[in-house]
Amino acid sequence: MATAQTDPHARSNFWKWFDAFRRAPGMWAYALNRLSAIGLTVYLFMHLIVLRTLTEGPQAYDDFVTLVKSPVFVFGELVVVIGGVYHGLNGLRVALTAFGIGVPYQKHMFYAVLIITAVVSLVFGIHMFTA
């Protein structure tokens, strides 16, 4: 049996993980779904920690709201919006194909997910940075 030591291709196989250009669209859809899932989960915990400031009184919460109005935080919120919209729409695509619906069009659905995510994120971005 070939092991990492005996297989002459083991090293090149490892680096293929980082070769973005030979990936099929389905692989991109999966990788982006996992990335957005991890991001949303981390955000959920950060959100809960931040909500704790409510227990410190109105002044503490108002101070926090002032802080998150800075462009860095607004950009971070936009990233959450992008991740949330993508993950939700791609989740529907995964659910549909899991039920055997639209399987031949799963690549087209992925492209539609990307386009809708881009349009929705653009609208959100304009609104968030101009409001």
Distance CA 73, CA 102 (A): 38
Tell me whether residue 47 or residue 60 sits nearer to ligand HEM (CB atom). 47
Which residues inside 4-43 make contact with ligand HEM, applying CB under 6 A? Answer: 30, 33-34, 37, 40-41
Tell me whether residue 44 or residue 51 sits nearer to ligand HEM (CB atom). 44
Say if residues 86 and 117 touch (Cβ distance below 8 Å).
Answer: yes
Helix (H) or strand (E) holding 125: helix 106-130
Binds ligand HEM (CB under 6 A): choice among 60, 92, 116, 122: 92
Q: Give me the least distance between CB of 40 and ligand HEM, in Å please.
A: 4
Identify the CA nearest to 46 among candidates 95, 15, 80, 23: 80
What's the half-sphere exposure (Cβ side, CA atoms, 13 Å) at 39? Answer: 19
Which residues inside 47-86 make contact with ligand HEM, applying CB under 6 A? Answer: none
Query: What are the residues binding ligand HEM (CB under 6 A)?
Result: 30, 33-34, 37, 40-41, 44, 87-88, 91-92, 94-95
